[in-house]
Structure 1
Amino acid sequence: MKRCEAAMPPRRTHPVANRALAALIEQAAWTHAALARHVNAAAAASGDPLHYDRSAVGHWLTGTVPRPEGVVAVLEAFRRRLGRPDLAAAHLGWPDPGAGPPDDPWHGDPVARLATLGEDDLLNRRAVLTAGTFTLAALSSLAAGTRVPAAAKVAAGVAARITSGGRAPARAGAADVTRIRAATAGFADLDDQYGGGHARAAVAAYLAREVTPLLHGTTGRRRPDLFGAAGELSYLAAYMAMDAGANALAQRYYISAVRLADEAGDLVSRATALRSMAVQAAELGHDEEALALAEAAASALGGHGPPRTQAWVTGMRAEAHAAAGTRHDALSLLHRTETQLERADSRPEPEWTGNYRRESLEHQIGLTLTRLGDHAGAARHFAASMNARRPVERRTRTLIGLRAAHAFLRAGDVERAAVTVLGLSEDVRLVASARVRGELRALRTAWQPYRKSALVAEADRAVRGA
């Protein structure tokens, strides 16, 4: 009898005060521990980790209200589980966390949104996180094929913006566009050498305080070029934020990049940003959304644009189809990617966003084969991509190298995995990248059963603490 009593769950000493939350937990079919895990995962995607456990959920049920960023994370966890982007704090029995009504980054003045986003990022304001974790709701209009407001509608508000923030408008010219693009290229080189966690504040400051004031005051024939250059910088800010693990922030920057591309009438830049949003969704495990975004990127191009850009987008479609389980489509798209890249017989475009080369395709093939379960094939392609990388691509080479090592390990080639990591150990320490650290953690966990191997033990010591 005593054993039976010990196996029973502990009796609740406090009654459930929050019936709305209890009902949603039951609808989601979650235990308290499972809810806590999903909330922590949603918060981690925003770059603001939380560490709730089942006892915290118990406190919520008895009337405790988590702090604002916790409310936002709980909401996002339930939205994903239940497929209800309309859920608000009131549905959980909680007051609004202070972020106001659900914010739609696809609407409103794109320049004002970008300026605020850059300032919040620069000053590390918590508002930039509580405005929303990485959220699937922000992707719903894209999945439905919805376009953002036409540039003509936004242009009608230019006069109202010119004096915003008390700043005098600055009319931009060709020299400003050249300087912005040169700065973007320089920041991109730093990103690829040292990772998105390095120099992000400098990018945010330049974007918010040097670039957006020019957007307020420029009309006429220079306007498309200026908005295009600003969109490329917003795209880079997004990529760096994603690499640094600040995924909510990255999502907002990517959306700004899409909207600025639309203002510039640049479908190639629109497709570029949507394609990278698909990468982000895929890396966060949102396969359905990744496929919708990859298809939206292809739709933006409409079968036109530079062959390298078409190949870049088609390769992402292949990976997304592999994740969706459509093997034939994935392999067919990989073949099309290779054909498109072969047609790009000129050297890679000078713009850093158009630099799609054979080693990029090797990486994409590796990602697609990983999704299809062919780890030996993936390892070969990852390794080919890693070995062809230029010295300036330290972060990319390190990230792909760790993926190669993990693929070798999954394929049973333990020694090759360890040797690959040993060759990357110095670069791993130089790169400030949450994505690199995540790959390294996953690899070190996976090779625990092989720690008796002298090579594995040596490799593990070489990257310990990185």
Structure 2
Amino acid sequence: MIDVDWDSDTLAALTDFANHEVDVDRRKALGAAAYSVAALALPSSSWWARMAQRSSARPGTGTVSVGEGDVEAVREMVSAFSRSDQRRGGGHARSTVVHYLTSDVARLLRGRYTHEPVRRAMFSAAGELAYLAGWMAFDNGQHAHAQAGFRLAVRLAAEADDQPLAGHILRAMAHQAIDLGHVRPGVELAAASIDGARYTLASPRERALLGVVHARALGASGDTRAAAAALLRAEYDLADARAGDEEPSRVFFFGEASLAHETACTLRDTGDLAGAQREFRRSVRTRRADTFTRTHAVTLGYLGAVQARQGSIEEACATWSRALDAMDGIHSARTRAVVADMRSAVSPLRGRGIPAVASLDARAATYLAAT
């Protein structure tokens, strides 16, 4: 079970995270691993201030001396793993990410620092890595693992006093909660992600990312008017982003295509299927599919589902066929869910002699059997 106590020591929590990975896998085999709604409760406002002071008060216990070069090395690894995740999905190399975090990076976090800013920068880099471990687990349907990774990442971001990173992580927690049907805590997490300095200190691109997930949470809750206002603000924020902006590498993936994807999901969830189709098409049209392959495949799957709901089943089958083409080499529970949804959508039409349906259903069944 995930520890819901936010006041334990962060480095002890890192050790617990390593143990949790093993424990969840063991309980999963027994059918007992679970995502915890109770663990979505956020700490008090005073907790954030205490955590920001904790790093400087903690003496280094290790023998390694940590400098700016070590921080850059960790950030380079985070960037490489992030790009792999975007292309190949969260099921590819996640165990490597977790091992790197809980061994090499854990040793650096316990080291002796040349300057206090270096300490904060290292905790920030470790927070991004823990977030990535959580995000990859989320993408691969390992929701208990994901939740543990996100909670650890929040602790590390708080010790680094990195408000925009904390917002980025809370946004991911909101995304997961909404996808799993926990709408009310999802709205609360999304609102927390844009609260105060988490939003104001973020770069325009990151503000747009936080805002569009907030919009999606509002849409899922049925607050259509507030969702529309949040979507508009996210559009404005992304329009303010400029080449050469000082922004974290973690937002490298977020551009017009990603904004259109999340906008489409929001419109779909509020019942605007025509608007959702328009935005999914914009996302497909503007995305660099060779770099962001996983999300491209998911977007095509969602677009096909909207087309099917509108009665255009042959058009949907053509779109879904493109999605299956894009899924080659991807390890992601989200792509598997898309394919399962394809089969569910066409199931009433099986045996009716529609070639597009028969071909698509056979390909989808083969994909699911293989993955």
State the TM-score, normalizing by the size of structure 1: 0.72
- Which residue is 1:358 aligned to? 256
Once the two structures are overlaid, the 10-residue window that deviates more, 248-257 or 346-355, is: 346-355
Alignment RMSD, CA only? 2.5
- Which residue is 2:342 aligned to? 443
Deviation at 1:121, TM superposition (A): 2.6
**How many percent of aligned residue pairs carry the same amino acid?**
32
Equivalent AA in structure 2 for residue 268 of structure 1: P
- Which residue is 2:267 aligned to? 369
Deviations 1:237-267 (A, max 9, x none): 0000111111111111111111111111111
Deviations 1:293-336 (A, max 9, x none): 00000005253421111111111111111111111111111111
- Which residue is 1:337 aligned to? 234
Counterparts in 2 of 1:226 and 1:370: CA distance versus 1, 3 Å: same
1:210 matched to 2:109? The reply is: no
Deviations 1:80-138 (A, max 9, x none): xxxxxxxxxxxxxxxxxxx6xx8225221112212331354378753799997211111
Deviations 1:183-216 (A, max 9, x none): 1111111111111111111111111110011101
Deviation at 1:172, TM superposition (A): 1.2
Deviation at 1:283, TM superposition (A): 0.5
Alignment of 1:181-192 (within 5 A): 181-192=75-86
1:283 matched to 2:179? The reply is: yes
Once the two structures are overlaid, the 10-residue window that deviates more, 169-178 or 445-454, is: 445-454
- Which residue is 1:386 aligned to? 284
Deviations 1:153-178 (A, max 9, x none): 5337734x72xxxxx43221111111
1:258 matched to 2:258? The reply is: no
Deviations 1:390-449 (A, max 9, x none): 202111111111111111111222122111111122332421111111122122102212
Q: Matched residues in 2 for 1:156 and 1:175: separation?
A: 20
Conserved? CA contact 1:197–1:432, under 8 Å = yes
Counterparts in 2 of 1:321 and 1:125: CA distance versus 1, 3 Å: closer
Q: Matched residues in 1 for 2:299 and 2:66: separation?
A: 40
Q: Matched residues in 1 for 2:277 and 2:5: separation?
A: 39
Counterparts in 2 of 1:294 and 1:312: CA distance versus 1, 3 Å: same
Conserved? CA contact 1:200–1:241, under 8 Å = yes
Unaligned runs of 5+ in 1: 1-98, 163-167
Conserved? CA contact 1:309–1:354, under 8 Å = no
Deviations 1:322-362 (A, max 9, x none): 11111111111111111111111336746033542111110
Conserved? CA contact 2:52–2:158, under 8 Å = no
- Which residue is 2:216 aligned to? 319
Q: Matched residues in 2 for 1:115 and 1:129: separation?
A: 22
Counterparts in 2 of 1:433 and 1:443: CA distance versus 1, 3 Å: same
1:233 matched to 2:233? The reply is: no
Conserved? CA contact 1:105–1:252, under 8 Å = no
- Aligned length in residues: 359
Conserved? CA contact 2:24–2:145, under 8 Å = no
Deviation at 1:182, TM superposition (A): 0.8
Unaligned runs of 5+ in 2: none
Q: Matched residues in 1 for 2:201 and 2:117: separation?
A: 24
Conserved? CA contact 1:194–1:394, under 8 Å = yes
- Which residue is 1:113 aligned to? 13
Deviation at 1:378, TM superposition (A): 0.9
- Which residue is 1:421 aligned to? 320
Conserved? CA contact 1:119–1:208, under 8 Å = no
Q: Matched residues in 1 for 2:134 and 2:364: separation?
A: 28
1:346 matched to 2:243? The reply is: yes
Q: Who wins on radius of gyration, i.e. which is larger?
A: 1
Conserved? CA contact 1:235–1:257, under 8 Å = yes
Alignment of 1:110-189 (within 5 A): 110-118=10-18, 120-121=20-21, 126=26, 133-141=34-42, 147-148=47-48, 150-151=50-51, 154-155=54-55, 158-159=58-59, 162=61, 168-189=62-83
- Which residue is 1:29 aligned to? none
Equivalent AA in structure 2 for residue 266 of structure 1: D
- Which residue is 1:309 aligned to? 206
Moved over 4 A (4+): 122-125, 127-132, 347-350
Larger RCO (CA under 8 A, 6+ residues apart): 2
Equivalent AA in structure 1 for residue 275 of structure 2: G
Equivalent AA in structure 2 for residue 199 of structure 1: A
Once the two structures are overlaid, the 10-residue window that deviates more, 265-274 or 379-388, is: 379-388
Q: Matched residues in 2 for 1:110 and 1:412: separation?
A: 52
Deviations 1:19-75 (A, max 9, x none): xxxxxxxxxxxxxxxxxxxxxxxxxxxxxxxxxxxxxxxxxxxxxxxxxxxxxxxxx
Deviation at 1:147, TM superposition (A): 3.8
1:461 matched to 2:362? The reply is: yes
Equivalent AA in structure 1 for residue 266 of structure 2: T
Q: Matched residues in 1 for 2:45 and 2:314: separation?
A: 47
Conserved? CA contact 2:164–2:199, under 8 Å = no
Equivalent AA in structure 2 for residue 150 of structure 1: R
